[in-house]
Amino acid sequence: MKQAMLFSLVILLFACGDSGDQSLTDNDQSNPGNEMMVDEKAEDPSTEAVDLKTLLKLSPLSVFDRTTEGLTAAEKESLIKAGKSESWEITETTNTRLALNSLANDAVELHYFKREHSPGGALGITVTNGQTSTLQLWNYTDGQLETGDHPGAVSANDFVREADKLPDSFQPQLQYSFVDDEKIEVTLNTWMVDEFETREVINKVYLRWDGEKFIKEIVQDKLASQSATFREIKTPTYAPSTLNHDGEIVLQKAWEDSNGENIVLFTKGEEELFVYHYAVAGSQAKLLRRVYDAEKSCEFDLFLSFIESSISVTDLDENNLGEITFAYRKACISDVSPKELKLLTLENGNKYIIRGTTTLEAPGMRVDGSKTVDASFNEAPASFLTHAESIWEKVRLEKIGG
């Protein structure tokens, strides 16, 4: 009897003592902490999936205040349980997105942005009602929603050229849409907005999720920039008087093209005249061309003046670089004689010129002038010379008396 009990005890000890070690695989033996590592990974809160209906349940009813139908607590409960209520229906659900539509065609969309290095994430909610759209951002941590911070106000000026900047008081109509799990696109509604009859949207604006926060990102839309059209403007946004120049400003012209805002100053001193062509991009002004001429030490009658009727701003070759054409007369004479006449076309720093003299007409007298087209026009589009010669014909004649 004692031998049988002793034998049974040995069998029991053998069964319980080493069985755990014997069951380890080779992989487990080389990494005894393997099971703990798997458990830790499973418990990492940053990798946990979030139920979008849970986020909808946590969202305040005030989210729906800007919709036509609004939302009651009872309707929210129906949406969470059945996917629809009297006025609303869940139309799409993914791991990160939940979309709802109402009978009045309002739309509410929830999008979850997961944090990379910490628990929880951000919840973006867009509410669209007709042409108006709003965005709310919330922080989600430990099962709680708290109001989140916006990355900075988006203004209409984020979308346009420097020359098209609007007053800070202008209130834009913005639309928000979720692009993916990293970006929210912000678009500007310009339909029937008077301020955008002469302005063009050239930038795209995004709120980009970097894994922890949203960052406003402005990206130039290359297609819009390339298709931007030349246009003459009456009043430049950049103050011409602040541009470096000699002499007194007597005339000025301005236009917009791919260089930005262009300003041309016509200035005069007692014996000198100047023309300055500036291109302004942002707050930087670049001098593209300076023209200078003078009639100094004149002991007779001095003539030195721009011909205002000759000035024209064009984009003849439609390359989105404007041209300006102008002419001026100069002379130091004591009798009735032809004056020196010069006509220039400037484009993007290039200069094309016609030189000659005026034609005089008086009762019983005519003195024909001269004209020499500079070789520089050989490098220009044919339309430049055609236009320049048409202006020359209009300004070459001087009538005296009669």
pLDDT tens digits, 183-209: 999 999 888 788 887 787 888 999 999
Q: Decide: 397 and 361 in contact? Cβ < 8 Å.
A: yes
Domain closes at, from 207, 226, 245: 226
Percentage of residues in the chain having pLDDT higher than 90? 62
Residues with pLDDT less than 70, the chain: 1-49, 131, 222-228, 402
Beta-carbon contacts of 194 under 8 Å, excluding residues fewer than 6 positions away, are: none
Q: Which domain holds residue 201?
A: 52-226
In 282-376 the beta strands, taken as DSSP E runs, fall at 284-294, 301-314, 323-333, 340-347, 350-357, 359-362, 365-367, 371-373
> How far apart are the C-alpha atoms of 251 and 268, rounded to whole Å?
10
pLDDT at 35: 38
Residue 303 maps to a domain = yes
pLDDT at 240: 92
C-alpha 62, offset from chain centre = 33
Residue 17 maps to a domain = no
159 shares its domain with 222 = yes
Residue 349 maps to a domain = yes
pLDDT at 222: 54
213 shares its domain with 244 = no
Beta-carbon contacts of 164 under 8 Å, excluding residues fewer than 6 positions away, are: 199, 200
213 shares its domain with 291 = no
Q: Residue 46 half-sphere exposure, CB side, CA atoms within 13 Å?
A: 8
Beta-carbon contacts of 55 under 8 Å, excluding residues fewer than 6 positions away, are: 98, 110, 112, 123, 140, 145
Domain count for the chain: 2
pLDDT at 195: 86
394 shares its domain with 254 = yes
Element (H, E) at 383: helix 382-395
Q: Name beta bridge partners: 216.
A: 207
331 shares its domain with 372 = yes
Residue 1: both structure tokens together = 């009897």
88 shares its domain with 236 = no
Residue 43 maps to a domain = no
Q: Which of 128, 109, 120 is nearest to 56 (CA)?
A: 109
Residue 165 maps to a domain = yes
Domain closes at, from 226, 243, 261: 226
Helix, strand, or coil (residue 178): strand
| Number of neighbouring beta carbons within 10 Å of residue 243 | 17
Q: Decide: 216 and 205 in contact? Cβ < 8 Å.
A: yes
180 shares its domain with 318 = no
Residue 18 maps to a domain = no
259 shares its domain with 113 = no
Q: Name beta bridge partners: 255.
A: 232, 262
Q: Decide: 123 and 140 in contact? Cβ < 8 Å.
A: yes
> How far apart are the C-alpha atoms of 189 and 73, rounded to whole Å?
33
328 shares its domain with 254 = yes
217 shares its domain with 239 = no
388 shares its domain with 263 = yes
240 shares its domain with 193 = no
Q: Decide: 225 and 200 in contact? Cβ < 8 Å.
A: no
Q: Decide: 137 and 47 in contact? Cβ < 8 Å.
A: no
> How far apart are the C-alpha atoms of 59 and 52, rounded to whole Å?
10
> How far apart are the C-alpha atoms of 205 and 186, rounded to whole Å?
5
Domain closes at, from 226, 252, 273: 226
